[in-house]
Chains A and B, each alone.
Chain A
Amino acid sequence: LALPGKANPQFALMDATTPESDVTTYNNYYEFGTGKGDPARYAGALQTHPWQLSVEGEAGKPRTFAIEDLLKLAPMEERVYRLRCVEGWSMVIPWVGYSLSALLKQVDPTSRAKYVEFVTARQPGNMRGLSSGVLDWPYVEVLRIDEAMHPLTMLVFGVYGKTLPNQNGAPLRLAVPWKYGFKSGKSLVAIRLVEKQPASSWMRAAPHEYGFYANVNPDVPHPRWSQATERRIGEGGFFAPKRKTLPFNGYAEQVASLYQGMDLRANY
Chain B
Amino acid sequence: MDARQVDRCKPLLFVLGLFPLARWVWLGVTDQLTANPIEFLTRSAGTWTLVCLMVTLAITPLRRLLGMPALLRWRRMCGLYTFFYATLHLLTWAWWDQGFDLAGMVADTLQRPFVAVGLAAFFLMSLLALTSTRGWMRRLGGNWQRLHRAIYPIGVLAIVHYWLHKAGKNDYAEVVIYGGLLAALLGWRLVAWWRARRLAAA
Contacts and interface: CB of A to CB of B under 8 A. Distances in A.
Contacts of B39: 89, 231
A238 B37 contact: yes
A225 B170 CA distance: 16
A206 B168 contact: yes
A238 B34 contact: no
B133 interface: no
A233 B169 contact: no
Which range holds the interface residue count of chain A? 20 to 34
Interface of A: 19, 21-22, 25-26, 34, 36-37, 89, 132-135, 205-206, 209-210, 221-226, 231, 233-234, 238, 241-242
B34 A133 contact: no
A226 B34 contact: no
A83 to B, nearest CB: 12
Interface of B: 34-39, 96-97, 99, 108, 111-112, 114, 164-165, 167-171, 173
Contacts of A210: 168
B169 A34 contact: yes
B170 A25 contact: no
A89 B36 contact: yes
Contacts of A134: 169-171
A36 B34 contact: yes
B165 A224 contact: yes
Contacts of B111: 221, 226
Nearest to B31: A21
B36 A26 contact: yes
A226 B37 CA distance: 20
A37 B99 contact: no
B38 A133 contact: no
Given A224-B112, A224-B114, A205 B35 contact: no
17 contacts: A21-B35, A22-B35, A34-B169, A36-B34, A89-B36, A132-B171, A134-B169, A134-B170, A134-B171, A206-B167, A206-B168, A223-B168, A224-B164, A225-B112, A231-B36, A238-B38, A241-B99
